[in-house]
Structure 1
């Protein structure tokens, strides 16, 4: 399993925005990065009228779509099943193709996380300081973060990228593994 680090925080805190700002920098550093995103409710990536949508709607348990440039694997969960376990989802990434997984959400799981916190939202951090898996808090306001966690500037994606690269290079690589 490739190393994994998550971005957690309350809704609207900027988790996706931070990931989209850090990801190109990690790619520029030569890393092949995958993203695992948690969705709280149902979602659909397919579009009505497309063949893949039609066969899924007709009852296919799984649909694999492939072309020269991309592939996607859509699976249907039956009935009231729980969502797939976090580790099972991580195991779906191919370590031969992925150097790092950035996860968004999965706040209750035991894995390294950067908490995204905006004091202007009027909410305290969701996970830090109680969660020992929080390795940093990225915030756009003053916040005293005690070691071993570190405070990062939410508006400085290069700082967040640098922190992740140090972690991967050995300054904390063992901490970028799920528990």
Structure 2
């Protein structure tokens, strides 16, 4: 599986870019999965539902399945946060995995940047950043630079970089 990341500060446009890239790559005939890093506690379950009750009772994993989808929830129960490689190992094979976040990992990444956030670029401190997608003229060294909304050009760049 080929892996490409999207990183950036909060409200920099990461999720919108991820969403557009998934649609673009799927439209080009690729199979795509995503991994999203969360910096906070999250729950994909609903209190009171059977699967939530199973987890609250102490189950290590709960697999919920239906005719439309399935989801596997794993409780860490005090164990350390899994690294990206451990999470990627859980995925079924696809052509491309897009990773949102995990900016300290070593896979190639594009930085999403919005001028209105007032935040400095991550690229100078993040050696895995290969390009910048911005709504202003943000650049760093000889990194490729794209308009944040030019999804086609960004997808072309990623495909060329990954030889897809």
Runs of 4+ in 1 over 6 A off after TM superposition: none
Note if 1:157 corresponds to 2:151: yes
Residues 3 and 97 of structure 2 are in contact (CA less than 8 Å); yes or no, is this contact kept in structure 1? yes
Residues 133 and 147 of structure 2 are in contact (CA less than 8 Å); yes or no, is this contact kept in structure 1? yes
Query: By how many angstroms is 1:11 displaced?
Result: 0.7
Query: By how many angstroms is 1:146 displaced?
Result: 2.8
Structure 2 gap ranges (5+) = none
Task: Give, in whole Å, the separation in 1 of the partners of 2:115 and 2:126.
Answer: 19
Q: How many residues of Structure 1 are paired with residues of Structure 2 in the alignment?
A: 164
Task: Give, in whole Å, the separation in 2 of the partners of 1:12 and 1:120.
Answer: 9
Give the aligned partner of residue 37 of structure 1: 36
Q: Secondary structure of the equivalent of 2:120?
A: coil
Query: By how many angstroms is 1:54 displaced?
Result: 1.4
Task: Give, in whole Å, the separation in 1 of the partners of 2:38 and 2:126.
Answer: 21
Structure 1 gap ranges (5+) = 174-179
Query: By how many angstroms is 1:93 displaced?
Result: 1.4
TM-score by length of 1: 0.86
Note if 1:136 corresponds to 2:131: yes
Task: Give, in whole Å, the separation in 2 of the partners of 1:49 and 1:83.
Answer: 26
